[in-house]
Amino acid sequence: MALTTLPVQFGSAKLHANLSVASLVELALSRGEGQLAANGALQCDTGERTGRSPDDKFLEDTAGIHANINWGKVNQAVSPEHFEKLKAAALAHLNAKQDVFRFDGYAGADPKFRLKVSVFTEKAWHSLFAKTLFINVPDAEMPSFKADWTIINACGMKITNPAEFGLKTHIGIVQSLEKKTVVIVGTEYAGEMKKSIFYAMNYDLPDMGVFPMHCSCNVDRKDPSNVALFFGLSGTGKTTLSADPHRDLVGDDEHGWSDAGVFNVEGGCYAKCIKLSKEGEPEIWNAIRFGSVLENVVMDPVTRVPDYDSAKKAENTRVTYPVSYIANAKIPSVAGHPKNVVFLSADAFGVLPPVSKLSPEQAMYYFLNGYTSKLAGTEAGVKEPQPNFSPCFGGPFLPRPPMVYAEMLADRIKKHGANVWLLNTGWTGGPYGVGNRFKLSYTRTFVTRILDGSLAKASFETHPIFGLQIPTAVEGVPSEVLNPRNTWVGGPGADQAAYDAKATELARKFRENESKFKMTAAVIAAGPRV
């Protein structure tokens, strides 16, 4: 493609466009950007930042989008003048490089709703990351490709005066919804590229009548009408539970729900790999091979075997691989309308049931609150488990008010008759530090019973504080673990007063958080009873 058609121009830098996986790996190795692991994956480090930098994420504030944005801590404003100044500085930084890498791809497996994305990076491994995560453009479509969105990743740019660009620190992830451009400076964490396009989709798709979702999705291999969604924040099990050997994987993180069904936003998966084992998660383990990218994973210097148990570099170790590397991936990554929608919550208070069925009003209530827990030690100053409420299980990626997305979910659940479930992948028998985390085997059994339709036919009892419908029996799981009130220290019936006190404490936190939203009386009534 001629340079005149590019949305950005480069001076002395040599532009490498749409290189093969092998070429990008070879260049990354020759430039000292990473090492080749024994399993064939490219191992890279992200430097100072080993996760997203939400406090350094900004949105250009323009008249055209201002009224549509939920301004605040997540959506921080930067002026058009500051945006243009940062963009110019980032391009000048890339212009001075010997090499610049370009990747062209799609976001959205459904051609009706996809966005065209061009990614410009100074690191070869970042281009490989983009090639792995986004949907690659077929050669026949490349001559007519013209980007809707452009990412300019000047990760090595050093900012000495952040205020000059309207930033807080030397790091900036600055996005313009009108100019459809993302500028990244000061951080090598590759996930910023991925999430910036998801943020863009979360703004653009509702105008197309599509509900954007932070969820994983799979479908029964023999019954294409049996589609399931798994909503959840990081660490709650989206990727793990959707990688099911008996079902086809549509995607592990980002999807759209249109009038035709569900489609994956991405062409790859971005999985946590701390404590990864072949026995526990064989699908992910087997997907780590040549063409995959390992981030911040410790590797033996002699054998080059990854040590997935080590958090020496970061707790948030990651692996990126094409969705096609999952043996049972569904290609193209599209499916019908979901029969089951599962909300995942890692409750460190130890009070939520391991599985419960939600009414339509409860579904909207728990979707808006988007609850999971922060654990002691995960952040400075966190000494006790703290509730973490993230609207729609994806608050950091939502430009519009949460109610926009909640109403889209409610409409689709009603229209297509989907069952909605709350699955606690957190603690039982007491809070974090006292009780134990639910066995993954039990959680997988709950998912199996949800997806085969048997759990919807079970008998249920009502939780006295949260009002949730708890099954009284689930084949393959001991009945005594189903009601958390009976599992606290001492066995069935023991220490129920302590349980009730802790459950009431969490219920009050839900009620405090709900004040952020303009819920109907019916939805408010579906919340905890305090």
Domain boundary (257, 292, 322) is at: 322
40 inside domain: no
164 inside domain: yes
Across 404-522, where does the E strand assignment appear? 419-424, 427-428, 436-437, 460-462, 469-471
Res 377: pLDDT: 36
Question: Do 382 and 482 have their domain in common?
Answer: yes
Sign of CA dihedral 110, 116, 121, 127: positive
Note if 275 is an active site residue: no
Whether the CB-CB separation of 112 and 146 falls below 8 Å is answered with no
Q: Answer with the residue of higher pLDDT: 440 or 37.
A: 37
Read off the pLDDT band of 6 (50, 70, 90). Answer: very low
- Whether pLDDT at 387 is above 90: no
421 inside domain: yes
Read off the pLDDT band of 9 (50, 70, 90). Answer: low
Question: Do 421 and 491 have their domain in common?
Answer: yes
Question: Do 477 and 414 have their domain in common?
Answer: yes
Question: Do 318 and 366 have their domain in common?
Answer: no
- Whether pLDDT at 237 is above 90: no
Q: Choosing from 57, 87, 97, 318, which is the catalytic residue?
A: 318
Give one DSSP letter per residue of 98-159, joined into a string: SEEEEEEEEE-SSTTT-EEEEEEESSHHHHHHHHHHSEEPPGGGGGG---SEEEEEETTPPP
Res 378: pLDDT: 42
Read off the pLDDT band of 163 (50, 70, 90). Answer: very high
Whether the CB-CB separation of 447 and 423 falls below 8 Å is answered with yes
Res 495: pLDDT: 74
Q: Choosing from 102, 238, 255, 339, which is the catalytic residue?
A: 238
- Whether pLDDT at 245 is above 60: yes
Is the pTM above the cut of 0.85?
Answer: yes
Question: Do 161 and 281 have their domain in common?
Answer: no
Q: Choosing from 97, 114, 214, 339, which is the catalytic residue?
A: 214
Query: Could you read off the pLDDT of 27-74 as tens digits, one per residue?
Result: 999 999 999 999 999 999 999 999 999 999 999 999 999 999 999 999
Q: Choosing from 104, 110, 252, 253, which is the catalytic residue?
A: 253
Mean pLDDT of 93-114: 96
Question: Do 433 and 350 have their domain in common?
Answer: yes
> Domain with 464 in it: what CATH number?
3.90.228.20
Res 379: pLDDT: 43
Domain of 176 in residue numbering reads as 12-32+55-207
Q: Answer with the residue of higher pLDDT: 493 or 286.
A: 286
Note if 373 is an active site residue: no
- Report the percentage of the chain scoring pLDDT > 70: 95
- The Cβ-side half-sphere exposure at 30, using a 13 Å CA radius, reads 8
Note if 123 is an active site residue: no
> Domain with 313 in it: what CATH number?
2.170.8.10
Res 290: pLDDT: 98
Question: Do 473 and 412 have their domain in common?
Answer: yes
Question: Do 77 and 181 have their domain in common?
Answer: yes
How much is the mean pLDDT over the chain? Answer: 93
Q: Rounded to whole angstroms, how far apart are CA atoms 514 and 33?
A: 46
Q: Choosing from 126, 195, 339, 463, which is the catalytic residue?
A: 195
Res 160: pLDDT: 95
Q: Choosing from 62, 234, 310, 324, which is the catalytic residue?
A: 234
Res 280: pLDDT: 87
Whether the CB-CB separation of 385 and 358 falls below 8 Å is answered with no
Note if 126 is an active site residue: no
Whether the CB-CB separation of 450 and 342 falls below 8 Å is answered with yes
241 inside domain: no
Amino acid type, 433: G
Domain boundary (207, 235, 254) is at: 207
Res 486: pLDDT: 87
Note if 239 is an active site residue: yes
Mean pLDDT of 499-516: 95
Read off the pLDDT band of 164 (50, 70, 90). Answer: very high
240 inside domain: no
- Whether pLDDT at 453 is above 70: yes
- Whether pLDDT at 294 is above 70: yes
6 inside domain: no
Note if 318 is an active site residue: yes
Mean pLDDT of 241-257: 93
Question: Do 398 and 467 have their domain in common?
Answer: yes
Note if 307 is an active site residue: no
Res 233: pLDDT: 87
User: Exposed, middle or buried, 46 (CB in 10 Å: 0-12/13-18/19+)?
Assistant: buried
Count the domains in the chain.
3
259 inside domain: no
* Of the listed ranges 197-211, 236-250, 276-290, 479-493, the one predicted with least confidence: 479-493
* Of the listed ranges 72-81, 154-163, 485-494, 517-526, the one predicted with least confidence: 485-494
Question: Do 74 and 141 have their domain in common?
Answer: yes
Q: Choosing from 49, 52, 131, 463, which is the catalytic residue?
A: 52
Domain boundary (191, 207, 223) is at: 207
- Whether pLDDT at 235 is above 90: no
Note if 258 is an active site residue: no
Pairing of strands 135-136, 115-121: unpaired
Query: Could you read off the pLDDT of 301-324 as tens digits, one per residue?
Result: 999 999 999 999 998 899 999 999
Amino acid type, 37: A
